[in-house]
Amino acid sequence: MKLKNLDQAFIEIAEKKSELAQLEMQDPKHAALQREIEKLESEFQYAYGSYIEEALFNVHDEYCPDNEVLRPVSYLATSYRKTRDNELEFDVDPQEGIPVDADDFPGIKARLVLVPGPTRLILQGQQEPFRETVWVAS
């Protein structure tokens, strides 16, 4: 598997999701773009799902063992934003991701989210200011 291909496929999804987030539900482009994203996510899951799933099992074992590992596409954010430093690196808001019980942060609402550029998993506080990159594709 080539990491460059993984990143390119994921960046395409992130850009489409960001575009979708800007559209109103009534916009005629919304439904077509949603279908396109679903197709891209399905292809992403098929091509890279097993690789990312292995990372998810390792991350869950270390950081949130009480939570069930879901399909990799479940960890995608609803929208992404490009960072100022690099147009191929993305970031997400704190409410993005799957809620998890992080052992290192008891009592804190945490979320685990998959972010592109480079492809990585971020554990972040939903309301508390913490954020840790817990895996980077390599």
What are the pLDDT digits (tens) for 104-122? 888 889 999 999 989 999 9
Q: What is the model's pLDDT at position 63?
A: 95
Please tell me the least confidently modeled range out of 26-35, 76-85, 112-121, 128-137.
76-85
Q: What is the pTM of this model?
A: 0.91
Cα gap 73→44, rounded to integer Å = 8
From residue 50, give the alpha-carbon distance in Å to each of 19, 95, 97, 99, 134: 27, 26, 19, 21, 18
Q: Which residue has the tokens 């997400």?
A: 92
List pLDDT tens digits, range 39-81: 999 999 999 999 999 999 999 999 999 999 999 999 999 999 9
* Per-residue buried b or exposed e for 111-136, using 16+ beta carbons within 10 Å of the residue's own CB: bbbbbbbbbbbbbbbeeeeeeeebbe
Q: What is the model's pLDDT at position 97?
A: 96
For the chain, the average pLDDT equals 93
> Residue 85: is its pLDDT beyond 70?
no
